[in-house]
């Protein structure tokens, strides 16, 4: 998939430019599929070394509001430098592309993105504060990991997960915090009772 200039860049022919480049890309794929010389052996000699998903939208800023500001992504590439039509983000060890599309595909998504997080509850607080839709609340799955599902600004399902070790550690931390809170409230009651004693008793 190719990306042309965004309308905000002032290019009056940007849509035609995008459509022409996209059509050329589609035709190249068709020719490759129709070629009788395309064999499995040739494919083995040119295996892909790496890859990453690309999400397209008419409004890149909404995607950045989620994947950069909520998920902690870091922009490592953008083109052009001013008013970019394509950006690459690093989110932990993952790479995600975000591109402008004048008429993005619509309909049910056939893709989900999964991100492991250090604290699922804290991440979901950020998600809710950003106005992101939470599709499924956190729950421990049959394989032991705790996960929740949210929807990004373009309607793509994003799964947020804690691995078993992280989930157990966070659960223990929450339990300790709850117990500490209960202990603190008991001390408050003692102090309150003491404050009701006669002035002489408090001085002693």
For the chain, domains (ranges, CATH) are 107-204 (3.30.720.110)
This prediction has a pTM of 0.60
β pairing state of 112-116 and 133-140:
unpaired
User: Which pLDDT belongs to residue 108?
Assistant: 65
Residue-level pLDDT at 151: 94
Query: Would you state the pLDDT for residue 186?
Result: 47
Nearest to residue 126, comparing CAs of 72, 61, 64?
A: 72
Question: Running along the chain, 204 residues long, what does each successive block of 10 average in pLDDT?
Answer: 46 39 42 42 54 91 96 96 94 95 78 91 95 96 92 93 89 86 56 45 35
Which tens digits make up the pLDDT trace of 90-120? 999 999 999 999 988 876 667 889 999 999 9
Nearest CA among 57, 147, 43 for reference residue 96? 57
Question: What pLDDT sits at residue 6?
Answer: 53
Distance CA 152, CA 63 (A): 7
Cα dist. 53→94, 141, 180 in Å? 10, 25, 44
Assigned token pair, 153: 């600004």
């Amino acid at each position: 998939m190719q990306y042309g200039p965004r309308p905000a860049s002032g290019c009056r022919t940007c849509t035609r430019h995008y459509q022409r480049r996209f059509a050329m890309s589609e035709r190249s794929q068709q020719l490759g599929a129709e070629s009788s010389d395309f064999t499995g052996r040739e494919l083995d000699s040119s295996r892909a070394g790496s890859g990453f998903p690309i999400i397209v939208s008419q409004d890149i800023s909404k995607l950045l509001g989620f994947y950069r500001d909520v998920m902690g992504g870091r922009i490592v590439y953008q083109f052009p430098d001013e008013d970019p039509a394509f950006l690459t983000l690093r989110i932990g060890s993952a790479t995600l592309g975000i591109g402008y599309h004048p008429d993005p595909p619509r309909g049910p998504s056939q893709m989900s993105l999964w991100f492991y997080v250090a604290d699922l509850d804290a991440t979901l607080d950020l998600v809710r504060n950003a106005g992101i839709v939470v599709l499924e609340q956190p729950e421990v799955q049959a394989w032991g990991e705790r996960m929740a599902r949210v929807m990004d600004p373009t309607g793509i399902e994003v799964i947020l997960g804690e691995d078993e070790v992280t989930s157990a550690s966070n659960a223990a931390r929450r339990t300790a915090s709850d117990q500490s809170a209960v202990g603190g409230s008991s001390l408050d009651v003692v102090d309150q009772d003491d404050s009701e004693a006669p002035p002489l008793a408090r001085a002693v």
